[in-house]
């Protein structure tokens, strides 16, 4: 005779195939069934499900089971998300450091991002006369994200604007992302808390646009 645990494994497979059942698990102790847990949708009443479970136990094990050992938990079927459709966890690249340096008539901006214990660095070189530190910081931030993705050329800064929203100065960006079969345009915004923090706002706006989608791309380490 098969071991009870093995027979209950086969029973669980049978229970999972019953109409209305989402998941089933049989618990045993000392060669006896102590509990049968059923998670189901609302297409059948709990009483009908209990009768179905009792019939399945009799058919598979050849012995009756007390209805008191069967627990039914029902959920709205529309709220059940298949495992393969559960969204990937959001990736959070954090702004670790921004630095600028001058060399002759050029300015170089470097943005360092962190994720877990790793850091990713990107730089952008521009003319001092351009007087657009926000654009330089946003470009450097994108280069740091490229290093994280390890797929150069898939990111581009479509537009950067400085606006006043509800009395607050902000940097807003539009970013294009294409990787494998994934392609889209994303938008981010961050407040300029002071004139000295404009470059920080530009980098944060880029992260605002991209942090929501990096996990969906399936490109986390």
Domain spans of the chain?
4-85, 94-210
Least confident segment among 31-40, 158-167, 178-187: 178-187
pLDDT of residue 134 exceeding 50, the answer is: yes
3-class SS at 131?
coil
Threshold 0.85, pTM exceeds: no
Class of domain 94-210: alpha beta
- Phi, psi values for residue 66, rounded to 5°: -65, 135
Triad 146, 148, 154: Cα angle to 5°: 30
Give the mean model confidence (pLDDT) for residues 131-135: 83
Average pLDDT, the chain: 83
Residue 130's pLDDT is what? Answer: 60
Comparing 129 with 13, the larger pLDDT belongs to: 13
Residue pair 105/124 in contact by the 8 Å Cβ criterion:
no
Residues 6+ apart with CB under 8 A from 52: 18, 19, 20, 44
Residue 77's pLDDT is what? Answer: 56
pLDDT of residue 141 exceeding 60, the answer is: yes
Residue 154's pLDDT is what? Answer: 76
pLDDT of residue 86 exceeding 50, the answer is: no
Comparing 137 with 127, the larger pLDDT belongs to: 137
Comparing 140 with 211, the larger pLDDT belongs to: 140
From the list 42, 41, 69, the residue with the least C-alpha distance to 53 is 69
Residue 194's pLDDT is what? Answer: 87
Residue 104 tokens read as: 């002759």
Task: State how far the alpha carbon of 52 is from the alpha carbons of 5, 138, 194, in Å.
Answer: 21, 61, 67
Residue pair 137/123 in contact by the 8 Å Cβ criterion:
no
Residue 177's pLDDT is what? Answer: 85
Residue pair 100/134 in contact by the 8 Å Cβ criterion:
no
Decide if domain 4-85 falls under CATH 1.20.1530: no
Give residue-wise pLDDT tens across range 15-63. Answer: 988 988 888 889 888 888 889 999 888 888 889 999 999 999 998 888 8
Triad 178, 184, 186: Cα angle to 5°: 115
């Amino acid at each position: 005779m098969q071991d009870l645990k093995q027979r209950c494994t086969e029973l669980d497979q049978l229970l999972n195939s019953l109409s209305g059942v989402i998941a089933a698990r049989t618990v045993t102790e000392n060669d006896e069934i102590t509990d049968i847990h059923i998670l189901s949708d609302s297409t059948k009443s709990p009483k009908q499900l209990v009768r179905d479970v009792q019939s399945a136990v009799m058919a598979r094990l050849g012995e009756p089971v007390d209805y008191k050992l069967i627990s039914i938990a029902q959920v709205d079927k529309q709220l059940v998300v298949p495992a393969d459709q559960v969204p990937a966890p959001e990736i959070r690249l954090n702004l670790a450091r921004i630095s600028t340096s001058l060399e002759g008539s050029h300015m170089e901006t470097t943005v360092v991002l962190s994720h877990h214990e790793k850091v990713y660095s990107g730089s952008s070189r521009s003319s001092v006369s351009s007087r657009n530190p926000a654009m330089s910081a946003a470009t450097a931030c994108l280069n740091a994200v490229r290093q994280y993705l390890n797929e150069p050329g898939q990111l581009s800064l479509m537009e950067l604007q400085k606006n006043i929203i509800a009395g607050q100065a902000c940097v807003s960006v539009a970013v294009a992302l294409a990787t494998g079969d994934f392609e889209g345009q994303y938008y981010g915004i961050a407040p300029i808390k002071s004139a000295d923090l404009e470059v920080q706002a530009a980098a944060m706006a880029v992260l605002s646009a991209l942090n929501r989608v990096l996990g969906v791309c399936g490109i986390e380490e």
